[in-house]
Amino acid sequence: MEIRDDAGFFAALDANEEQPYGKARTARAEELVTVAERMGNDENLAWALLRLITAYNYGGESPRTPVPLSRLLGLWDEHPEGFDEQLTHHLFWDLKWITSSLLSVPEVPLTAIRGYLADMERRYRTAGHSLRPVHQSRFYLARHIGADAETTEAFEAWLAADRDRLADCDACERREQARWLIARGRDADALELLAPTLDGELTCAEEPQVSLATSMLPLVREGSPDRARAHHLRGYRSVRGKVSTYAAVAEHIEFCALTGNEGRGIEILAEHRAWLARPQSDPSDHSDFLAGVAVLLRRLVAVGGPELVVFEDTTAGGLGETVERELFEIAARFDARNGNDAVSSRVRRRLAAVPVADSLPLGLRSVRVATRVAVGPAATVVSGRGVEELLAYARELDEKGHPRAEAAWRDYAAAARARGQDVDVFALAAISEADGIELVEEGEFAAGAAALDRAAAGYLAADAAGRAVGAEVRLAMARFRADEPDALALFEAAQVKAAGFLPDDAAPLALVLHHRAIVALASEAEDADAILTELHDLGRDHDLRHRQSAALHIRAERALQADRTADAEADLSAAITLCREAERPWLACRPLFLRSQVWMRLADPVAAEADMRAALETAAFYTEPQFPVGHALTMLANAIGAQNRPEDALPFALEAAHVFDDEGDPEMAAACRRGAVGMLFGLGRDAEAAAILEELLPEVEEHHGPEHAMQERWALGLCLRRLGDTREAARHLAMAAETAVKVADRATQAELAVAAAHALDDAGMAPQAQAAFGRAIELLRAEGDVRETVRALRAKAWNIASSTDREDPSGVDRAVALFAEALRELAGAETGAGAADDEATMVAVERAGTHHQLAHLLARADRLHPARAAADKAATAYVAVLPEEADGYLDAVQLAARIEAFGLDERPAAVARLDVALKVCATSGIAAVEELTELREELIRV
């Protein structure tokens, strides 16, 4: 569209301001400069140049700002009288950007930058402005060239100078100051400086999202990993794909690389892969991005090797070499300009970063990075022991039944082979037994049975016949789990052999009875209780307390199945005590795990939390391999959540999801994430909840069916609505409502239709909102939900009135008709037979609220007489439900009085109304009447 006049020109400028920063917005800003030149109006040209400078600065092309800024300064120098106060302010504001813009281009000499700084200082002094921005710019220059003394001097001068209208926003200043402190190792001071921004007290176009990124690694180093995770989830959504936050994207990549989330780092890199080939910003910003990527790629090489595939056609090693070559080429250009190696030294320090956490679960499902496993003689290096010492240590642990015994046997065998020695026969049998147990647990029954058969033979060769029986009974269990017909015969044969070791050695028979008890219970055999009793008594009589404990544990499980909770608690408590008395505390993990569930049944989440924490800590300390860590973390989160401590429960829910990811259980991982989302939503941490839901939704849609997808979209829509992302909220809620029609009951359909309608209304999509409200009203009526029907009718009325031109009375008329319909709904409910007291109260409250809202709608439309009448009816209706509805009553009275006094010029009537209302308040015990009193005094004075 051709621009013909000033109005059209400024309309075009404003329209371009609505576009996202990037190439298209910048190109249009350049066009408008040309238009302004053609119009021959210096004011228009000044505004066009200012908007172009902003487009360059936030659109990744800040090195181009000096050209339009120089033109703008020329206009100012020639005709300062042509700049009004607003234009003048913008001119001096944009002067601040020139130092960083020039610094970011290595081909601009330092002498030129210092010349611009001197000119900036002269202009600020002449205009009488604070020199705070000048000191800030000198700080940027000194920091960039590595002049530490000058940097400190400029930093102190910056902080000491007065803040005036030309100072950068407080949040942005604090971020840059914090970055300098972080580089000097002062994480705690930096976080203190960032606190007002991180807490939401200070905001701007770039904040808090950029400071959230800057704070993540310092938070982990300072012992606040949960806050760091929250900042990643909150912040990344706001910087993803935005060239104006180039460096922040790199900080998120680096954070993932250094917290055991390399897979998440790859995902973020994939989303910005185009930036590697086509830099979206100046060399300085691009260098920051490349450095963050290089940190990730170095970690990937460290954990997965250089041949680890990052993308389909790219390995970590190959891409890392390419990125670092470009990174150091850019650094070399800056070093050449600066006359030192400050920039390349900073890059080297950044790339040398080491992980700050082995694993920090983020709550997001990311690709897992396959790690390299050390083999051969490395085990002896880790242990620091010789072969004979390793053998003795493994035997010691084996005799105790310690869960680390398996690893100890493997360490010994690896060390022996590395030195060319034969491996002890007993050790080989123990390793085969461990292999067999693991294979059976994984469902590889045939391979597991073969390994157990080898173990039995090996134990016999090592003259350990009792252990051979143990391997045979585990072989029988493998046969049983594989539904082999000879399993029971194998158990019987093993029991006969085991009985032969009595009375000197009861351990083999106890092991057989333990497994037979498990089999008997699984097959619902009649002799199950007898076997359990025999196991318990054998353990008691031969001081095999861990076997006695096992019998009690199994008996407790049976008691729970029969809802004999108290019996289960008693048996489990005894079992835990026996494990500890037997000096095998690791065996207490499972009874603690089960007793925690008992406490939850008994409504004692405090005791449940204590037991589950003890179970997890014990399992972790003794590296119990078969302990169900994911389920334990989930139940711990539930126990803490049941105490109304969602913030404490949240980390455990997220860690559980991480564990289930590693175990290849996507359904449980998704369930944990849904639980975490519920906690975050309840805590008002909507950005984090939305980040998890956005990652979860594609997987749910693919693997869990439409009903689960509907639930996730519903939750995501509510989060986005609370975040103010109205169009995305409307999209997700509308899609959820469509799915509900196919998979949900009518009540759920109605609830979702209402949510979708409100979201569409928020997004300014009036026709779609009205259709959704109509659908919701139909469903709510069918459900007999009078209150929600009335509320939907009112919401639809407001939507119609708000979306219709104020000059068109039909919108208000249609809205009034819907209010009348709402009142008829209430009248019908009131006359319904057998209305309960609570329903009568509901009708009274909704009637008062309907008249009240109608009064406001009519007042906005300048229909003052009917508005007063509606307000009067509202106040009268509220009297029946005082003092609970005091706020509504007070507002309705004031609305009616203001209409009378200021709209209808009936002040005496308004004062009389207020006098009556004050008496009603006194009778109803309503003390907060200051606004009524102030309005009455105002009317009397007038």
The CATH number of residue 713's host domain is 1.25.40.10
**Within a 13 Å sphere around the CA of 163, how many CA atoms are in the beta-carbon half?**
7
Residue 721 in domain: yes
Contacts of 393 (CB under 8 A, 6+ apart): 385, 408, 412
Q: Are strands 314-315 and 309-311 parallel, antiparallel or unpaired?
A: antiparallel
Helix (H) / strand (E) element for 814: namely helix 809-831
CA distance 142 to 776: 63
Joined together, the tokens standing for residue 675 give: 């639980």
Low-confidence ranges of the chain (pLDDT < 70): 1, 366-384, 831-836, 942
Q: Are residues 652 and 609 in the same domain?
A: no
Q: Residue 5: what residue type?
A: D
Tell me 369's DSSP state: P
SS3 content of the chain, % helix, strand, coil (to 5): 75, 0, 20
Number of alpha helices (DSSP H) and beta strands (DSSP E) in the chain: 47, 2
CA distance 813 to 828: 23
CA distance 230 to 212: 9
Where a domain ends, among 741, 761, 784? Answer: 784
Q: Are residues 701 and 672 in the same domain?
A: no
Closest CA to 650 of 627, 621, 684: 684
CA distance 676 to 666: 15
Q: Are residues 679 and 694 in the same domain?
A: no
| Residue 506, pLDDT score | 93
Beta-carbon neighbour count of residue 40 at 10 Å? Answer: 8
State the Cα torsion 732-733-734-735 to the nearest 10°: 50
| Residue 830, pLDDT score | 75
Give the CA angle between residues 359, 360, 364 to the nearest 5°.
115
Where a domain ends, among 587, 614, 641? Answer: 614
Joined together, the tokens standing for residue 407 give: 């690893």
Beta-carbon neighbour count of residue 74 at 10 Å? Answer: 11
Domain enclosing residue 661, as ranges:
628-683
Residue 174 in domain: no
Helix 837-860 to helix 809-831 angle (10° resolution) is: 170
Joined together, the tokens standing for residue 839 give: 């329903």
Where a domain ends, among 760, 784, 808? Answer: 784
| Residue 346, pLDDT score | 97
Q: Compute φ and ψ for 216, nearest 5 degrees.
A: -60, -55
Joined together, the tokens standing for residue 17 give: 């301001």
Residue 702 in domain: yes
SS3 label, residue 30: helix
CA distance 134 to 92: 11
Number of domain units in the chain: 3
Q: Are residues 599 and 671 in the same domain?
A: no
Residue 457 in domain: no
Q: Are residues 566 and 596 in the same domain?
A: yes
